[in-house]
Amino acid sequence: MKPLEKGTKAPDFSLKVTPDQTVCLSDFLGRPVILAFYPADFSPVCGDEMSLYNEILPEFKKYNAELLGISVDNVWSHLAFAKEKNLHFPILSDFNPKGEVSKLYNAYNEKDGVSERALYVVDRKGKIAWGYISPIGINPGADGILEALEGIKQ
């Protein structure tokens, strides 16, 4: 599957981040947003990827960028995962209807019923600045994200 094209409008969404709070992409208009879709909480590779981004958070903040992790796990799983990994950014639950937002971003694996390992950087105006879909077993690192953020720096 190919990522959404650069320059197209990033589909808006509203997803739960805790049992009673939702986050919308449009909440962040005016700031770059990094969307990190990943297959599942608590699988060793994802833990690594989210832990890596957690570590790099201060760099993302230099670009005033917001990082949002997204998987199809439910909010309770997310809360436990965030606690165990000491994550300092929101992870959103694409749980019901399952994978709806992941599908909008060409980031849903129908066969396994999980999000792909996909990355997007959305610019201040809500347009796709960069997208990348990684082989599911490979942690894509953060060099692509940082390059994209550098590219849309004002």
Partner 1 sequence: MSLTVPVGEIDHIQGKENAPVTLVEYGDFECPYCLEARSVIETVKRTEGDKLKFVFRNFPLSQVHLHALHAAYAAEAAAKQGKFWGMHDLLFDNQPAFEDGDLTTYAQNLGLDMQQFTEDMKSEEIAKKVKDDFLSGVKSGVNGTPTFFINGVHFNQPSEAEFLQEAIESAAKN
Integer Cα distance of 153 and 124 in angstroms: 10
Which residue stretch of 33-41, 69-77, 86-94, 111-119 sits at the interface with partner 1 (rule: CB under 8 A)? Answer: 86-94
Exactly one of 29, 40, 56, 104 binds partner 1 (CB under 8 A); which one? 56
Residue 59 engages partner 1 in binding (rule: CB under 8 A): yes
Residue 88 engages partner 1 in binding (rule: CB under 8 A): yes
Pairing of strands 21-24, 114-115: unpaired
- In the numeric block, which tokens belong to residue 150? 């550098």
Asked whether the beta carbons of 57 and 88 are under 8 A apart, the reply is yes
Report, as residue numbers or ranges, the catalytic residues: 46
| Residue 11 or 141 with smaller CB distance to partner 1 | 141
Residue 49 engages partner 1 in binding (rule: CB under 8 A): yes
Residues 6 or more apart whose Cβ sits within 8 Å of residue 131: 3, 4, 5, 6, 105, 118, 119, 120, 121
Nearest-approach distance from CB 143 to partner 1, in angstroms:
4
- In the numeric block, which tokens belong to residue 130? 């960069």
Residue 153 engages partner 1 in binding (rule: CB under 8 A): no
Q: Distance from first CA to last CA of the chain, Å, rounded?
A: 31
Exactly one of 6, 85, 124, 127 binds partner 1 (CB under 8 A); which one? 85
| Residue 114 or 142 with smaller CB distance to partner 1 | 142
Exactly one of 5, 20, 110, 143 binds partner 1 (CB under 8 A); which one? 143
